[in-house]
Structures are given as structure tokens and as C-alpha cells.
Structure 1
Amino acid sequence: MSLLNVRNLSKRFGGNAAVDDISFDLKAGELLALIGPNGAGKSTTFNMVGGQLPASAGSILFDGRELLGVPSHRIAHMGVGRTFQIAATFASLTVLENVQMALLSHHRKIFSFWRAAAHRFRDEALDLLRQVNMQDQASRPCSELAYGDVKRVELAMSLAGRPRLLLMDEPTAGMAPAERNGLVALVKDLVIQKNMAVLFTEHSMDVVFAYADRIIVLARGRLIAQGSAEEVRAHPQVQAVYFGTGKTFEAAISEGSRP
């Protein structure tokens, strides 16, 4: 049984259909990539699932519960986590403090002064940092970290809510090839260990084809292909042209692996 069921989802802005009647499923323990060119409807779809944008039509069921019309903060407390294209951390706080803040938010703890909260959830925060291989940098301010490490801290923060579904918007944006492969490999391991579902958007085709269990392809708001990497690569509409640029998937993957 699927954890996420998207059915006939549409979003219109005036007379323009940004997303046009798309349907897909996502199971626990599965890493699903959502790809397409600029203007394909990826971000719109992503934001409707996360509750940041209302849909014009359709249904989004998470573990049998309708998400349409539910505010994003309530969706988060239902077990849906999210990371953003630009990492959302507090640069002046340490790595550990950032994760503690995420845990305080998840547990809905109210505090007036950080000093009073500094020892709250310390052990749990350290455990989350161990899961993303950042425990050795727990005492460093986030402002001193390499960008790839900041993304790992953000991942630990997103895990503070114990999500069953994690939405990751361009998780490797701005990262070098080695960094992005390391991050997505880590996410893949977490998916398996936690039996967690992940839906992610991504422009780097090398990581998509290397790690995604399935891929869904949007173009001009429509779903044009979905399946395994092999099935998507062989799909007639996708194979003929890589999203209207004249590039094949092989060329795109090769380019994506360059610094």
C-alpha cells in the first residue's frame, strides 16, 4: 500500500495550467525523483504536497488522510518533513544548537531564553547528527561549515520531526559532484533504515539516475513518463529530446557529473 497517493492534481493560475491532472504514488522505503525542465510544474506540485500552495483540483492522500486544505505547519506535525533548495539553518548557532531548535519546535516547547533551553534534547540532537555523520562538528557554528555540511545539518533538522515522508527541494543545488553524491547516498541509506518515503526534485541527472528508485517526469504541467531509471531513459517522449534542449539523457547525465 502506498503512503502517498496523488490523484488528478491540478493547479491553475488564471487560464494557465501550471499542473494539469497528474497522478502518482509513493511507498514507504522509496526514493522518488520529480524531474523536468524549468516551468514543468515541479515546484508547484511540490508546494501543493507540502501545503504551501492550494490546489485547484484533485486529491493528495497521506496515509489515507487528505492533505488538501491542511495548513503546512499541521502537515509537518502529521509526519511530513521538508528541506529547501537554500538550506534553512541559523548561521550564528552551533550545529548542535540548530538541531536542538528543530527538536524544540517539533515538541512544541516554548522558551524565552536560549540559555534555559540549551540542554534540552541534547542527546537526541547528537543522535540525529550521528545519523548524518556530523557529530564531530556539533560544537562548530554553522557559519563556519562547508555548504555540503550545512545541507547535512538541515537534513538532521528535518529528521527531528520523525517524518514518514520527507520532501526535498533541490537537495544538491550548489554542491560539487562528490558532495551531492555523498548526500543523496546518505538519504538513500536513511530511506532504507527508517522505511521512510522521500520525494525530491533535482536538476543533477547523475544523482537521479544513480539513486532514485523511481522517476516521474513533468513537462508543461503534464506527467509524460514515470518508472525506473531504465524505463524513463527508454521512454519515447523522453529519449527523443531531453526536455526540449536537444540533449539526450546520456549527455545530461555526463554534464551533471562535471564540477
Structure 2
Amino acid sequence: MTAPLLQVTGLCKSFGGVRAVDGIHFDLYPGELLALIGPNGAGKSTTFNMVGGQLVATAGSVKLAGHELVGMKPRDIWRLGVGRTFQIAATFSSLTVVENVQMALLSHQSRIYTFWRSAASQYRSEALELLDQVGMRAQANRPCSELAYGDVKRVELAMGLANDPKLLLMDEPTAGMAPKERNALMALTKQLVVNRNMAVLFTEHSMDVVFAYADRMIVLARGRLIAEGSAEQIRNDPKVQEVYFGSGKTFEKPSQAPQEETA
């Protein structure tokens, strides 16, 4: 059996007297798209940021291929092969599409402060290859400020791939996007997971996206893990139904996965 890439064990985070995350544990495997969901205040963002190093855990362990991440700085975690995208796309609007990806590649190679050679000439072919993978090569020379928001998110995804990640963390990847854009981005992410055999952990509020694309889900409520499993298992879990609806109501199961709209 394949060993887990990411192992989270007994993860806790307290803010003063408030325990925002209380003993979370889960594994994530290569080639898997894992959704971290739950209602507002469940502890999703806190858990997510502890995995990425933005927050230091009060207790517990986060291991990437056996390497302990707790206490490491985000930059060092990035260099171990953990990519990251953000709820609000983090790109440089004054730079072109390809320059944004080149900057990410330069950062990964620890050459962001090397001035002896023009940055514009470095890693351009590698940046174009990443843009090709996310369907943005044709717009490589456009300023990011001119792009539609869905395209900006694709550029950010290419930047997240600049360190050839084993694990990609995606914080609300489809926030602010129309349904067609949401489905296109997640279908692309799913394809990259398979092609690269990488693991993705993502938080998401759009349940249509979660149930259509996640291989597995973990559900938090009040800082604790209350359910883990496939879409079908989560959909029919009484604890999950109670947390989301306060009743026996079930998630509506779509007749088929969302389809892209035609022009």
C-alpha cells in the first residue's frame, strides 16, 4: 500500500483560552485531492495555515514524507515541495503573466536577489512550460492587470507549481469565480494531480465543487474532526447533516458532475 505523503496527528491550536483546533488527525496520499470542509468557525483556516507554516501548532505533528513541518517557516516548507495558492489571488499586476511565473521560479531557486543577470532572461522556458500546463501560454506576454479573474487564478496556479510540489495547498481556490470558471479550474487541478502524482489539500465553500472533484473529504466542526470519507459517505453522514443543516436534511446529490457551459 502507498505510504501517506502528509500525516497530521493530534494537531491543536489555542488562542488564549480558546482551542480553535482540537486534536485533528488525517493522512493525504500522492495523487489524491482532499477537501477540508466545515461551517464557519470550524477551524479550517487554522488547520490549513498550520500545515503551511503560517501558524505554529500548540501541539501535534505535521509530517511531509516523514519530515516534521511544525516550527518550520513557510519559505522552508515551500522549498521542501509544498506549493500554495490563496483565497485572493496573489500575483503582481504590473508584471506580465510569464514574469509572474519567472519570479516564482527565481524564488524557488533562491535567486530572487541576484542582480548580476537580467531576471527577464531567467527561467523563461520553464515558466512558459508551466503556463502551457494551465492553459495560459498564449497570454504569456500580457500584463496580469488585463486578465479576467479566472485567468489570474490560473496564473497563480502556475506559480504554485514553480517548486514542483509534492503537496499543493489551495485556500478557497474558486472564491469569487463564476460556475463555469470554478468547474474549469477544478477540472484542471484534478488533471494536474493525476499527471504529476501530487497531493492537493484544499478548503472550499462551494459544495458543488467539493462533491464533484474531491477524492475524499474531511469535515471539521468547532475545531474537531467529525467525519472523513468519500462524497457518498459524507453526504449521508448524520453528524455532517446536523452541522450543516441542524436537521435530518441531506445534501442534494446532483444527477451528474457539473458540465461546462457552452458559448
Shorter chain as normaliser: what TM range?
Answer: over 0.9
Report SS of the residue matched to 1:249.
coil
Deviations 1:154-187 (A, max 9, x none): 0000101110000000000000000010001100
Distance in 2, matches of 1:134 and 1:188, equals 17
Provide the residue aligned with 1:122 in structure 2: 124
The aligned length equals 255
- Structure 1 vs Structure 2 CA RMSD: 2.1
Distance in 2, matches of 1:214 and 1:246, equals 22
Please list every run of at least 4 consecutive aligned residues from structure 1 whose deviation after the TM superposition is greater than 2 angstroms: 110-113, 243-249
Deviations 1:110-146 (A, max 9, x none): 2348x81111111100000000000010011000000
Provide the residue aligned with 1:54 in structure 2: 56
Unaligned runs of 5+ in 2: none
Aligned partner letter, 1:216: I
Q: TM-score, normalised by structure 1?
A: 0.94
Instruction: For 1:137-156, list aligned pairs within 5 A.
Output: 137-156=139-158
Is the 1:98–1:157 Cα contact (8 Å) retained in structure 2?
Answer: yes
Give the C-alpha shift of residue 240 in structure 1: 3.7
Distance in 2, matches of 1:14 and 1:71, equals 22
Q: Percent of pairs identical after alignment?
A: 70
Q: TM-score, normalised by structure 2?
A: 0.92
Q: Which moved more, 1:95-104 or 1:115-124?
A: 115-124
1:20 equivalent in alignment to 2:10: no
Q: Which moved more, 1:169-178 or 1:6-15?
A: 6-15
Instruction: For 1:1-259, list aligned pairs within 5 A.
Output: 1-109=3-111, 110-112=113-115, 116-242=118-244, 244=246, 248-250=250-252
Is the 1:219–1:243 Cα contact (8 Å) retained in structure 2?
Answer: no
Is the 1:32–1:199 Cα contact (8 Å) retained in structure 2?
Answer: yes
Unaligned runs of 5+ in 1: none
Is the 2:33–2:200 Cα contact (8 Å) retained in structure 1?
Answer: yes
Give the 3 Å change call, closer, same or farther, for CA 142–101 of structure 1 in structure 2.
same
Give the 3 Å change call, closer, same or farther, for CA 39–246 of structure 1 in structure 2.
farther
Aligned partner letter, 1:84: F
Report SS of the residue matched to 1:20.
strand
